[in-house]
Each structure stands twice: as C-alpha cells, then as structure tokens.
Structure 1
Amino acid sequence: MSSRFTRTGLACALALGLFGAIAGCSGSSASTPPQAPVAAQVSVVTLQAENQPITTELSGRTRARMSAEIRPQVGGIVQQRLFEEGALVKAGQALYQLDPATFKAALASAQASVAKAESTVNAAKVTARRNAELAKIEAVSQQASDDSQATLQQAEADLGVARAALDTARINLGFTRITAPIAGRIEASTVTPGALVTASQTTALTTVQQLDPIHVDVTQSTTELLRLQRELAAGTLRTSGEKGEDSVKLLLEDGSTYAHAGRLQFSSVTVSESTGAVTLRILVPNPERTLLPGMYVRAVLEEGVAEQALLVPQQGVTRTASGDASALVVTAGNKVEKRALKVSRAVGSRWQVTEGLKAGDRVIVEGSLKVKVGDTVRPVAAGDATGVAAVATR
C-alpha cells in the first residue's frame, strides 16, 4: 500500500516539475523583444563632375588620295608593256610603248616642210629688200615693192604653220611612249603587246593610285551635326582644337585599331538629299599600304570636351517602356530615393546625365532589386571589393 502511494507521489512530482519548466520557457520567450530588420547593403557610385572628351564613331570607306586612269592620246599598236603589275611607279615612268613608225614619218615630213618654208622666207626677204632699194630710185614701181613685202609676210606665216605642225608631230611621237602622270601603285593592265589602241578611248589601259597618304570619307548625320552646334553654342561643349589638327583613330573591319592616327581635313558644305548626311574627309598615313581603296573602316572623332559632365554607370540607370530614364539614389540619411533623369549620350560604359543628378549624389549600381523607394540601406562604394562581395552573397 505504501509502495503504491510512493509511486503516485513521484509521478505527481515529475508532472508538476515538467509543467513548471514549460511555463518557465514560455514565459521567457514571451518576454524577449522583437529584433529590428537589417538594412540591405547596396553598392553605390558617388558622382564627380569631370571634363570628358566626347567622341563619335562614324563609318566610311577609304579612297585613294590621287588616282589616274591611263589612256592613250594617239592610236597605234602596243609594242611593249614596261611595268610590273601591282608595283610602285614613279611620276614620268614609262608604262607602254606604241609603234612609233608612222609618227616618226610624220615628224620627218614636218621637219621638211619647215625647211622648205624657211628657204621661201629667206628668198622673200632678199626680194623685198632689193625692191625696196630700187623703189627709192624709181627703178621699180612702188606696187612691185609692196607686193614683195606682202610675199615676205605670207612666207613667214607659212613658216609659222610649218613649225606648229612640226611641234604637233613631235608631241604625237612622244605620246607613243605612255608615262605615269603621278606616283603610286599601278593596277593590272587591260591590254597586252599587239593590241590596237585608239586616242582617248573609254577603256583605261591601267590605273595608278596614290595610297600614302590615303583618304577616308565618312558621313555624319545632320541631326548629330545640329546637336553638336547647339551644345557648342550653349557652352556645354567646347572644341578640343582646330578641326584641321584633330587626331582621328581608325578601326578596321576586324575590329583592330589602325596603327596610324588620321587628321580631319574638311567637312563638306552640301547635305546629301538621299541620306541627309554630310561627308567628312580624313587624311591617314599609309606607309605599309595596309589600307586599300574601297575598304570599310570606322573613324573615332573627338567632337569636343564636355565640361563638368556627370557620368553614371549604365547599370545604375533604368528605363521605362517609353524610354524615360531614372536612377535610385541614396540620400544623406541612407534612404532610397528615385530620380528622373535626362540622358544626353553614351560615353563608353556610362551615360552622360544632364538633368536629375548632381555632383556628390550616390547612385545605386548593385543591389537595387532588393530595395524599394524609402528603404534604409547600408551603402558601400562600388570599388570596395569587400562590399561588392557582401552584396553578391546576400
């Protein structure tokens, strides 16, 4: 009997102890205050005003600085080709030799005509002089003297015609040796020895092109030109130097940078009606003959310098479906604020902002998806590797 009561008492004691423990735990939990939410950590960029060179990338084609199509000035049979196709030729270098036989005969005939005319002039001079003396003593009539003077003048005129014909024959004989009018690289020949050519034919025998230096013609839209003029007039953009002294970088078709910088020569004064663009011409050194006429290139031109420009990383700017730009900014109290922006142009991987931000503003560039306007955040400089890693792991 006593044993049963003892077990019952122990059970009651254990139950009371367990109840007390549970009550104590629940009381302790209820008395703990709730913890405040942890501020999200974001990566920010502090804006600084800077003088930023403004560049424009324009596409265009290379053009030979000088080009001459070689055509015969007299007709004849090609006897020789005196150049190597694709080689460099000098100005005045012989390129073709035409058969000169008929032109040598014409020259000889002209020389004979000159000799004949000279003898006629000499005889007329003697006669005119003698008749003038005889007229003084009335040995001949004055009419005879006048006629001899007229004969002399006609003989001198005939001599002039003969000499002009001689010059023409000599020039035509010279044209049988076709020379290069300019120095440059010569292209393939369209004729071979034995071919018949005619004076001023439409088909060129070959072409000589001057490739060093070479021209690059690029086009710029009038929209960009007007924008540039407005910015220069407003003072938000200043020129970086005289246009004739601007250095231009070229990018080749494979994306590589050309070794030599070009120089902007002029901008055309006429707008193309079909494209609405003006042409800019760039003079580029080409000592290695890397650039050939007709190649596609892109020219990077420095338009000017934007003074006190604000540049925001592109990942810090968002756009709506209508194209309106905005950015999230951390205020002095570490609150998130949204700003509407006006963006001017892209400068590398950044946007140039003209309205909505000022120097010293902290723009969120990482972690913006986990915060909203009005939230308190912990900003970390974007260049801080520890802060960036912390943002990435959250």
Structure 2
Amino acid sequence: MSVFFPIPLGRSSSVQQKMNQWARVAALLGSLGVGLGLLTGCGPGSKDPANTTPQDIAQVGVVVLQPQDQALQTTLPGRVRAFQMAEVRPQVGGIIQKQLFTEGALVRQGQALYQIDATLLQANLSSAQAALAKAQASFERQQLQAQRSAQLVKIAAISAQQDEDTQAAARIAQAEVQAARASVQMAQTNLRYARIEAPIAGRISLSNVTPGALVTANQSTALTEVVQIDPMYVDFTQSTAQLLQLQRDWAAGRYEKLDASSMPIALQLEDGSAYPHVGKLQFSGLMVNPSMGTVTLRAVVPNPDGQLLPGMFAQAVLPTGMASGALLIPQQAVTRDATGRASVLVVQDREGQKIAVQRTVQLAQAVGNQWLVESGVQAGDMVVVEGFQRFKPGDRVDPQTMPAQRPAAAAVDPQAAAAALRSALERQP
C-alpha cells in the first residue's frame, strides 16, 4: 500500500521550495517504515523457542501415569420384578362376609384375608359326618355277621356260599366307611377354605371385591394380590456384541474374569440416585432375544425399606473384569481431531529442556471420569491436564505435578437417565 501526501504548490513556488518539500515527505516515510518494523518485530509470532527466557516458559499441570489394578464395570438397563407374587382366588363358592386386611399393608403367610359365609359348608360337613356314622354302624353289624358266619361254616351249619356272601358284605361296609370318612375330610377342607388366607408373606394389593360379593371356586378374577418385596429381582439386558467383546478380552488375557457367584451388583434408580443396598448376580440367560439381540441377567437385591417396587426402571452397575497394570488418563487431558482420533500432550525431556509433544493414544473405555488407555503412553509419562491455553505443541513448559485423580462416577441427569431407561426398555416384555 502506498501513502500519498498532497503537497500544496502555489503558482509562485520556486524549484528550491519544491525540493525542500519532497525531502520532508521522504523523511516522514522513512520514520513510518522504521516504526512499522519495530511493531512487527515485537509481535507474538516472532518468539524463538530456543531463545525463550525463563519468564516466558508456561507452567502446566501434569499427572504422572502409574500402573494400577483397575476393576472394570458396565452399566446396563434393567427392570425391577417381584421376588414372589401370588394371586388370591377362592377355592369354594359363597358370599364374602368380611375383609380381614388393610389394603397396601404387609401380611404374613397364613394370615386370614377374607371370610366367606360358611353356613352351607357347615351343613355339608354335618351331613358328611352323619353319613360316616351310619356307615360305621352298618360296618359293625356286617362285621359281627361275618364272624358268626365263619364259625357256622366250620360245623357245616351254613353253606360255603353263604359264608362268602357275608364276608363280602362286611368288606363292602368297611369300604363305605372309608368313603364316608373321605367325604368328611372334604367337607372339613371346604369349611376351612371359607377362611381365605395369604399364600405368601408380603405386601397386599387392592381388593377387587367387597363384603356381600358372590364368589365362585377357582374364578378367573383374583380377589387381590400379595407381592413379596424383600428381596427383589432386577432383570437387566446385555447386548450380544458387548458379551462377545468381553469374552474376547477374557480369552486374550487383557482382563481377569470375575467369579459370577460373588459378583456385586449396584443399582442406580431412574431419578439418578444410587440405591443404598448391593445385590448379587443370580442368573445369566442362555437364550438370545432374537428381536433385540440381548441376553437377560438377573440379580437379587435386598429391599428392607420397600424402596424398590415391581415394574420400576433401574440401571445395574456390575463389574466385568479386572485390568492388571492399567493406565488411566483424566478425560480433560484427551482431545480429538476432526476424524475422532484421540491424542494427549506429553512432556518429554530433550537435552535438559521440558518440551510438550502431542501423542496419539488408543482408548479402551471410560472408567468414571478417566479413560482406560490401550496404547500410546506408558508408565512414568507426564500427561498435561491443565494450562493448555498457555502453550502449543513443541514449546518449552514447566511441568507441575498434580495429585493423582481417583475414578469418580460421572454426574447423571435424573430426567435424562429416566428417558434413556424407558427408551431402552419400552419394547422389553
């Protein structure tokens, strides 16, 4: 760009005056050029890393990578199910006289829930008892006749045919006594069924009938339900792709396989809060759901406070293995380029100078707020975690060791957690 300075020239200006004016313009342009050169020489791009003064070296926070045994875990969507659930139905017909429980309360096994009008059932029992008494009297008479007939046939007082008929009649009378006794037992059982009892211990649901309602034996509609809520089942699903990858890691020796019988299961409720009690893995499914490509696992979880309810969504956090000599990098130390490739800045010692260099890393999985690294760094490397804005790769830095971070669970948005769970399980039967 050229600079133009207009020079007023009068009609009577002499040649000498014109030359003086051009000289002053040249001097002014020279001073401007020197100033621009000084300004350019003072810019940030002119700093030579080799000539950096101690005051210009950026202080950065680093962590020194140390191998450690790290337990790996995975989070799977699940649903809470009752440990036991029993539908209460009448085994005899009649009119409901009383409801003997409070809806929603805890009931014990064998506790009376309903009382059916037992008038007819008591009459049937009395009739059966009378029939038994009649059968016993007839049997006693036939038994005496059979004893006399056995004596008479010995002295040929009666024929053998008559004796055989008498003995058969006695046996028939004995069978009638047994049949009558069975009828009495059935009538007693029906009378006992008039008092409907809880088949299991647990929390009882709403009643579907009220006193005065007519019920029939083995009807399709349940009177109420009893649910055992301590402990509870939690059924969660794992994709076959995750399962296959985990099996390959076990086979390759990258992770140590944990004993499933002692595997602890931690729960995270759908509002994002942690459940205070730890469960245990009980069952691992052998069949794959063909529509979803998942296998079902089941855990048994204590529920002494009744916080878990059947049908509730939850996330199951379970360990998948143990990584021996694992290297963990804080997540804030990892950057990615446009292709998604991960890299970190590592401080290296070059001829007594600390230089920050960029290094590509291969990440395995997230462990809380850190990354488990497969390759790219090694034990003892100083990885930069703070002060990125103060330098660029290739600059000298002053590393300041930061305290080692412990893997911490990432914060969970309650609404996002609930939405993710329902989205994952909306097709689960």
Whether TM-score is above 0.5 comes out as yes
One-letter amino acid of the structure 1 residue matched with residue 281 of structure 2: L
Match of 1:383 among 396, 402, 415: 402
Q: CA deviation at 1:184?
A: 1.1
Quick check: 258-267 or 321-330, which moved more? 321-330
Q: Look up the match of 1:18.
A: none
Q: How far is 1:39 from its partner? A: 5.1
Instruction: Answer yes or no: is the 8 Å Cα contact 1:42–1:377 preserved in 2.
Output: no
In structure 2, the residue matched to 1:153 is 171
Cα displacement (A) at 1:306:
0.9
Code of the residue aligned with 2:343 in structure 1: it is S
Alpha-carbon distance in structure 1 between the residues aligned to 2:340 and 2:182: 77
Q: Deviations over 1:334-363 (max 9, x none)?
A: 344443322111001111111222112222
Which residue number in structure 2 is paired with residue 86 of structure 1?
104
User: What is the deviation of 1:330?
Assistant: 2.8
Cα distance in 2 between the residues matched to 1:53 and 1:297: 22
Aligned to 2:205: 187
Q: Tell me the residue number matched to 2:379.
A: 359
1:229 aligns with 2:273: no
Structure 2 match to 1:171: 189
CA deviation vs aligned residue, 1:133-153 (integer Å, no higher than 9, x gap): 111111111111111122122
Asked if structure 2 preserves the Cα contact closer than 8 Å seen for 1:220 and 1:277, the reply is yes
Give TM-score, length-normalised by structure 2. 0.76
- Residue aligning to 1:390: none
- Structure 1: gaps of 5 or more residues: 1-21, 23-28, 385-394
Alpha-carbon distance, 1:254 to partner: 2.3
Q: Give the 5 Å matches for 1:1-394.
A: 36-37=51-52, 38=56, 41-240=59-258, 242-333=259-350, 334-368=354-388, 375-381=394-400, 383=402
- Amino-acid identity (%): 50
| CA deviations over 1:36-72 (Å, ceiling 9, x no partner) | 2455554333211111111222221222211111111
Quick one: distance in 2 between partners of 1:190 and 1:372? 73
Unaligned segments of structure 2, at least 5 residues: 1-30, 32-37, 39-46, 404-429
Contact 2:204 2:225 (8 Å CA) reproduced = yes
Given that residues 356 and 397 in structure 2 are in contact (C-alpha distance below 8 angstroms), is that contact kept between their aligned partners in structure 1? no
Q: SS at the partner of 1:238?
A: coil
For structure 1, which segment, 138-147 or 217-226, has the greater mean C-alpha deviation from structure 2 after superposition?
217-226
Moved more, 139-148 or 154-163: 154-163
Write out per-residue CA displacement over residues 127-175 of structure 1, whole angstroms, 9 at most, x where no aligned residue. 2221121111111111111111221222222222222121111111111
Opposite residue 378 of structure 1, the aligned amino acid is V
The secondary structure found in structure 1 opposite 2:349 is: coil
TM-score (norm 1): 0.82
State the 1:372 CA deviation: 5.4
Aligned pairs, how many?
353
1:346 partner amino acid: A
Call closer, same or farther: CA 1:79–1:219 in 2, change over 3 Å.
Answer: same
With over 3 angstroms needed to count, the CA separation of the structure-2 counterparts of 1:306 and 1:224, relative to structure 1, is same
Instruction: For 2:194 and 2:165, locate their aligned partners in 1 and report how far apart those are by CA, in whole Å.
Output: 44
User: Given that residues 62 and 216 in structure 1 are in contact (C-alpha distance below 8 angstroms), is that contact kept between their aligned partners in structure 2?
Assistant: yes
CA, structure 1 residues 234+379, in 2 after alignment: closer, same or farther (shift >3 Å)?
farther
Matches of 1:252 and 1:82, distance apart in 2: 35
List, as ranges, runs of 4+ consecutive aligned residues in structure 1 with deviation greater than 6 Å.
Answer: none
Kept in 2: contact 1:250–1:257 (CA 8 A): yes
**Contact 1:111-1:166 at 8 Å conserved across structures:** yes
